[in-house]
């Protein structure tokens, strides 16, 4: 249910609707051992642990699905002959690099740059250094391809927002200043810094309301402070209401390839406080929110105080600007650019 997979599902559906032949190839989810099931039941004391498979953005898409055995790489024979073969994850990019020419021109759709000091960093660097064509979702990623790997050919196709889902009527600033965020478990999401910032802000603005949503929190290590109103695994259709309750949406990440929640919140007329990652520098530079230089608690607290101190008129102007900027990012336009990029790449072969 990650945002990157939502992007894949949107392009697969739109390309199919436009008359192209699309096939999704991916491994079957690994089975969980009996020991892990029992441990989950004892820890959570709920039978929800027995769900056989997670929900996926790929569910219900009317394209061909080829599901291979879990635990092995995708092979040449798993993939139909095609004009273009697109890898959407680093191990997949490594796999298609060895495919025959019949599988089409090789493309890596790169939506992030997630170096975090682990063994996987080497694989990430190898994929970025490979000569296969890159499609990236932001100028930030294109700059990485050019400056770090000497590749000036990366094609930028920005993500967008579904305006049929993410929208809101004009509103006033909340009587009680409210901020929200998505709870991310990864280190690069800097959730601990964000929580520290909110805790400090609460000492200065005791009535501050803090809401969040994200995955089901499975153990005590991931428990949130009592001041956070948390929604676990919300349905897609409930997200606009969560965004729309807030006077500001906070993104504290060290790294984001694009940052879909930034646009989703703005489409719901919620200004955004964000570090300079992904799409944030492009959309927040003209009064749609507050760009902070780094994800330090003091910087984030300062921005929260600034939102709290805005008059209703000033906040309304920022909210209206956020909505107008988000409206310029439409999936139909992004699909046009993606389709043109694929046609150009296929035409070279």
Q: Which fold has domain 178-327?
A: Rossmann fold (3.40.50)
Same fold, 3-160+331-347 and 178-327: yes
Q: Which two tokens stand for residue 65?
A: 């699905």
What's the rounded mean pLDDT across residues 287-291? 95
Closest CA to 128 of 106, 105, 110, 104: 110
Q: Which of 214, 185, 216, 218 is nearest to 42 (CA)?
A: 218
Share of the chain above pLDDT 70, in %: 91
Query: 3-160+331-347 — its CATH code?
Result: 3.40.50.2000
| Segment 272-276 mean pLDDT | 95
CA distance 256 to 313: 31
For 91-133, the pLDDT digits (tens) are 999 999 999 999 999 999 999 998 878 888 999 999 999 999 9
Per-residue pLDDT band for 221 (boundaries 50, 70, 90) equals: low
Q: What's the pLDDT at 94?
A: 94
* pLDDT exceeds cutoff 70 at 237: yes
In degrees and rounded to multiples of 5, residue 199 shows phi and psi of -65, -40
pLDDT value at 51 more than 50 = no
pLDDT of 143 above 90: yes
The residues spanned by each domain of the chain are 3-160+331-347, 178-327
In the predicted model, what is the mean pLDDT of residues 30-34? 61
């Amino acid at each position: 249910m990650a945002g990157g997979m939502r992007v894949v599902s949107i392009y697969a559906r739109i390309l199919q609707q436009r008359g192209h032949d699309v096939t999704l190839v991916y491994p079957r989810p690994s089975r969980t051992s009996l020991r892990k099931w029992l441990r989950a039941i004892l820890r959570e004391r709920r039978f929800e642990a027995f769900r056989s498979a997670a929900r996926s953005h790929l569910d219900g898409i009317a394209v061909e699905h080829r599901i291979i055995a879990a635990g092995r790489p995708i092979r040449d024979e798993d993939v139909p002959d095609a004009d273009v073969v697109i890898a959407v994850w680093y191990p997949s990019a490594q796999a298609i690099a060895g495919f025959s020419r019949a599988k089409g021109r090789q493309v890596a759709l790169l939506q992030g740059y997630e170096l975090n000091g682990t063994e996987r960093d080497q694989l990430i660097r190898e994929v970025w250094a490979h000569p296969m064509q890159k499609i990236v979702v932001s100028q930030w990623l294109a700059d990485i391809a050019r400056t770090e790997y000497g590749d000036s050919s990366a094609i930028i196709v920005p993500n967008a927002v579904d305006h049929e889902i993410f929208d809101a009527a004009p509103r006033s600033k909340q009587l009680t200043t409210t901020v929200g965020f998505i709870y991310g478990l990864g280190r690069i999401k800097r959730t601990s810094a964000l929580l520290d910032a909110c805790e400090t802000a609460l000492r200065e603005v005791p009535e501050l309301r803090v809401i969040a949503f994200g995955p089901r929190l499975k153990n005590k290590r991931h428990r949130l402070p009592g001041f956070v109103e948390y929604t676990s695994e919300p349905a897609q259709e409930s997200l606009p209401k969560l965004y729309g309750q807030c006077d500001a949406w906070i993104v504290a990440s060290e790294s984001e390839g694009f940052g879909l929640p930034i646009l989703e919140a703005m489409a719901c007329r919620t200004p955004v406080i964000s570090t300079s990652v992904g799409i944030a520098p492009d959309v927040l530079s003209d009064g749609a929110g507050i760009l902070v230089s780094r994800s330090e608690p003091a910087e984030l607290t300062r921005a929260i105080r600034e939102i709290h101190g805005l008059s209703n008129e000033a906040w309304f102007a920022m909210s209206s600007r956020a909505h107008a900027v988000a409206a310029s990012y439409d999936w139909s336009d992004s699909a046009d650019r993606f389709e043109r990029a694929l046609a150009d790449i296929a035409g070279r072969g």
